[in-house]
Chain A
């Protein structure tokens, strides 16, 4: 009996890999379709912030993620952009991450046409900048001194929506969606220093670490991980990859819990044998 249980504990991990693969692939092919019930407070706060902005306000959307974190962050970036366009909020999109170009390109190719939004009038995309600190500190005095051209290499001042935007005083808030510590930079160098409302979208790994900023209201709202993306998609009634993704992950999560409990029960039995 002891030998059998030890053999079970030392099971070849490749069987576990196969189980994990099946637990994710099968729901992708045939979705389970369980809707998410709860909406967390921090996601609701982010939603309400955009919902309550007056029409015509401008926000900065800092999209700082690359393909390695895209499955979690791309759906929430898409949901936030859709929500902003739906409320006729103007958006300045920028990035400090080298690999985000293709992902931002995908967003601005597909979403603005759905809401009849015009480049230069309703949204602009600023070019990648390697130094976030330089950008964050200089935008406090004059955005145009740091970003003189847009991503198409045309003078930023020529665009209709940028004519009245000089610095942070002219924007309603900043939403930083990132898989790195860049949201901390926004909080430290912009939110705390200039009182600009900062909201965030982060990977699930980082979400827990922002508890102190949320409690102290240094962050006005936070979307965390794929669950957060699914919740935001539910709030704007536009299910996309966040909703389908979290649906596909149901069995995988239960698998982890079952494995932990099972292995500890076997250990307990072995202890008493």
Chain B
């Protein structure tokens, strides 16, 4: 699928779908709705085909076939049991037997809870507390800058924790400390906002870069044709709508 025709066709399809979605920014229109619904189907199909070709065939079907041929009953059972548990999930749509799906869900929840608990405690709890108090182990051997940073991090972390501690009423000293914690949260949110702007604009740059590339001669001016088509649609739609309104009045 690397022929000149497929490349140009690809350019038209890619820039068309991109511009159909951007057309929503002007106003809601059939082209956007078509692209939106296509995306639902395409996105789902992409993940389904990946599941079939990268999980079900290599990890369920082929091991099962091999184990059956070799008489390896242990592997056969160890493949059939999770397959059956997976199939139970689908019974959720049949109200009379939807309770069967609990077997699949409880396996997933037990596994996830058992795995998340120690890992989360180690990395996001113990290590973070350690990171906050570690500089104080040899505090006076640090440079002045690092000392100040360590103190700021300690005060900030503790005051933010005070803000999120709702078991005690926020009044008096607790209120003052938690209000101070809000300032640290605002600094974090402000930093996140600044970076979010770059992140989203980067995505937009990616799309515009593609549209500019597909507006070149080698892609048969794909972007330009699609833009002209959309403009004709919107102008025609406006003319027809005005005529209809005039006719009604």
Contact B131–A128 (Cβ < 8 Å): no
CB-based contact A24/B208 at 8 Å: yes
Q: B194-234 interface mask toward A, CB cutoff 8 Å, 1 = contact, 0 = none?
A: 01111101111110110010000000000000000000000
Asked whether B199 lies within 8 Å of A72 as measured between CB atoms, the reply is yes
B47 at the interface (CB under 8 A from A): yes
Q: B-facing mask of A88-102, CB < 8 A → 1, else 0?
A: 000000000011000
Q: In this assembly, does A208 line the interface, its C-beta being within 8 Å of a C-beta of chain B?
A: yes
User: Which of A28, A212, A224 touches B209 (beta carbons < 8 Å)?
Assistant: A28
Q: Quick check: A24 and B131 within 8 Å, CB to CB?
A: no
Of residues A20, A70, A208, which shows the largest number of chain B Cβ atoms within 10 Å of its Cβ?
A: A208
- The listed residue (B120, B122, B188) touching A208 by CB distance below 8 A is B188
Option from A71, A188, A216, A225 in Cβ contact (under 8 Å) with B206: A71
Expressed in whole angstroms, the Cα–Cα distance for A66 and B208 within the complex equals: 18
Query: Is B40 engaged at the interface, CB distance under 8 Å to the other chain?
Result: no
A208 and B191 contact, CB distance less than 8 A: yes
Hey, which chain A residues are within 8 Å of B26, CB to CB?
14
Q: In the complex, are the beta carbons of A71 and B123 less than 8 A apart? A: no
Smallest CB–CB gap between B39 and chain A, Å?
11
Q: Among A28, A71, A245, point to the contact of B212 (Cβ < 8 A).
A: A28
> Are A130 and B202 neighbours in the complex by a CB distance under 8 Å?
no
**How many A-B Cβ pairs are below 8 Å?**
107
Query: Chain A at the B interface: mostly helix, strand, loop or mixed?
Result: helix
- Smallest distance from the beta carbon of B113 to chain A beta carbons, Å? 13
Which range holds the interface residue count of chain A?
35 or more
**C-alpha spacing A72/B199, complex, angstroms:** 7
| Contact of B119 with A189 in the complex, beta carbons under 8 Å | yes
Is A2 interfacial (CB 8 A cutoff)? no
CA distance A245 to B153 in the complex (A): 34
Mark interface residues in A200-216 (1 if CB within 8 Å of B CB, else 0).
00011101110010011
Asked whether B123 lies within 8 Å of A249 as measured between CB atoms, the reply is: no
Contact status of A212 and B46, CB under 8 A, knowing A207-B195, A245-B202, A252-B201: no
Q: Is the CB of A216 within 8 A of B130?
A: yes
Q: Is A133 an interface residue (CB 8 A)?
A: yes
Closest partner residue, chain A, to B53 (CB atom): A128
Asked if A205 and B127 sit within 8 Å, CB to CB, the answer is no
**Which of B46, B195, B197, B206 is the one whose CB lies under 8 Å from A224?**
B195
**Pairwise interchain contact B199-A205, C-beta atoms closer than 8 A:** yes
B55, A130: Cβ atoms under 8 Å?
yes
Q: Is B54 part of the binding interface, using a Cβ–Cβ cutoff of 8 Å? A: yes
Binary per-residue interface labels of chain B (108-140) against chain A in the complex, 1 for a CB within 8 Å, 0 otherwise: 000000010001101100011011001000000
Question: B202 contacts which chain A residues (CB < 8 A)?
Answer: 71-72, 203-204, 225-226, 245, 249
- Whether B245 is near chain A, meaning CB under 8 Å from some CB there, is no
Please, which residues of chain A bring their CB within 8 A of the CB of B242? none
The reply to whether the CB of A272 lies closer than 8 angstroms to some CB of chain B is no
Q: Is B173 an interface residue (CB 8 A)?
A: no
Whether the Cβ atoms of A14 and B25 lie closer than 8 Å is: yes
Closest B residue to A257 by beta carbon equals B197
13 A-B pairs with CB atoms under 8 Å apart are: A14-B26, A24-B205, A28-B208, A71-B209, A188-B120, A204-B199, A207-B195, A208-B192, A215-B131, A227-B198, A245-B209, A248-B208, A248-B209
Instruction: Name 11 extra pairs, CB < 8 A, besides A188-B119, A226-B198.
Output: A29-B212, A69-B203, A188-B120, A188-B122, A203-B199, A215-B131, A215-B153, A225-B198, A225-B199, A226-B205, A249-B201
